[in-house]
Amino acid sequence: MNAKASVKRSLVFFLIPEFTMVAFATALEPLRIANRMLGHDAYRWRLASSDGRPVRASNGVECAVDTSLEEERRKMGGPDRPSMVVVCSGIDVEKYSNRTAFAWLREEYNRGVAVGGLCTGAHVLASAGLLSNKRCAIHWENLPGFSEKFPKANVFADLFEVDQNIYTCAGGTASLDMMLKLIGEDFDELLVNRVCEQMLTDRVRSPTDRQRLPLRARLGVQNSKVLGIIELMEANLSEPLSLIEIADGVGLSRRQIERLFRQEMGRSPARYYLEVRLDRARHLLIQSSLPVVEVAVACGFVSASHFSKCYRELYARSPQQERNDRKQMLAA
C-alpha cells in the first residue's frame, strides 16, 4: 500500500440545531463511498453535539450523535483527536451563541486541526473569530446579513472556499463538491470519478460556479441589455446608481432603458431597483440584529423614515413589524 493509499482523515461533524440535512448528507456520503471504492476506511467520522444529545435537523429528523463537546475536548490531546472538524448548521444560525463551542473550535484550529462549515456554518466560524481576513462561502440567502455582521471576513457567493486550513461551502449539493475536492487532494482523480459515478453526478463543479441560477433562468428574461442592467443594480445596492449612470454603463439612453423595462419587467427601472433594495433589506431584518436605520443605509436609503414608507408600501408591514414577527415565530 503506497503512502497515498494509507491516508486516513478523521472528521467530527458538529451538529447545530436546525442544521440542513441535505448539506450534511452530501458531505458524509462521498466519504462513505470513497471507503467502499478503496476497500478500507481511509475516512472515519463521528457526530458531536454540544451536550451529546440528539439534534433535530431543519426537516424535523432527529439525529443521534456519538460525543459531546466535553468529550471532544478530552479527546484533543489523545489519539482520537480529529484531523478535521466540520460545523453543520442551517436556518436561524444567527441566533446561535455557544461560547464553549466557539472556544473549542478556536482551540482545535490552533492545534492544527482543519475546520469547516456547511451551508451557514461560516456564520459559526466567524462568531468563533476564525474568519477574519479569510475567504469563505455561505448560502446566498444568508450572505447579506453575514457580510454586514462580519465585515472582516472575505465572503463570496461561491459554491465553496478553501483558505489554508479553513473549508466553507454554501450548503446543498455544494457540500459534495467540497468533499470531492478533499478526496482528490488525498488520493487522485480516478477515485473522485468513481465516487461521482456512484452518486450519479457527472462532474465536480468549480468553487466559483454560481450558487443561484443565472439571471436569465431565474427571471425568465432573455434580453441581454436588461440582464446587464439588473446585474449593475444588484452590484450597487448600498449606493444606488442613477439612471444616467446605468445608461452610460450599458450604452443605452434613459428612454431606451425605460422602454425595455416596461416591456420585459412590467415596471419602470426605478421601481425594479427599489424592489431589489427592499428585498435585500428584508433579508437583513430577518437575519441580522442591525438597527433599522443601519439596514436602511446598507440598502441605499437616505433616511429611516423614507425606508419605512417604501417597505410598508411593498410588504404591507413596517420594518420593525417584520422583525417582531420573526422574533415571535422563533420563540413559538
**pLDDT tens, position by position, 23-63:** 999 999 999 999 999 999 999 999 999 999 999 999 999 99
pTM, 2 dp: 0.73
Q: How far out from the chain centre does Cα 3 lie?
A: 35
- Of 296 and 211, which is predicted with more confidence? 296
pLDDT at 225: 87
Would you say residue 218 has pLDDT above 80? no
pLDDT at 109: 97
* Residue 86, beta-bridge partner list: 13, 116
pLDDT at 17: 96
Amino acid at the residue 4: K
pLDDT at 18: 94
Q: How far apart, in Å, are the Cα atoms of 150 and each of 110, 175, 297, 323?
A: 21, 22, 17, 20
| DSSP strand pairing (160-163 vs 166-169) | antiparallel
Query: If pLDDT is split at 50, 70 and 90, which confidence band does 162 have?
Result: very high
Q: How far apart, in Å, are the Cα atoms of 133 and each of 60, 110, 264, 273?
A: 35, 16, 41, 31
Q: Is 220 exposed, middle or buried (0-12, 13-18, 19+ CB in 10 A)?
A: exposed
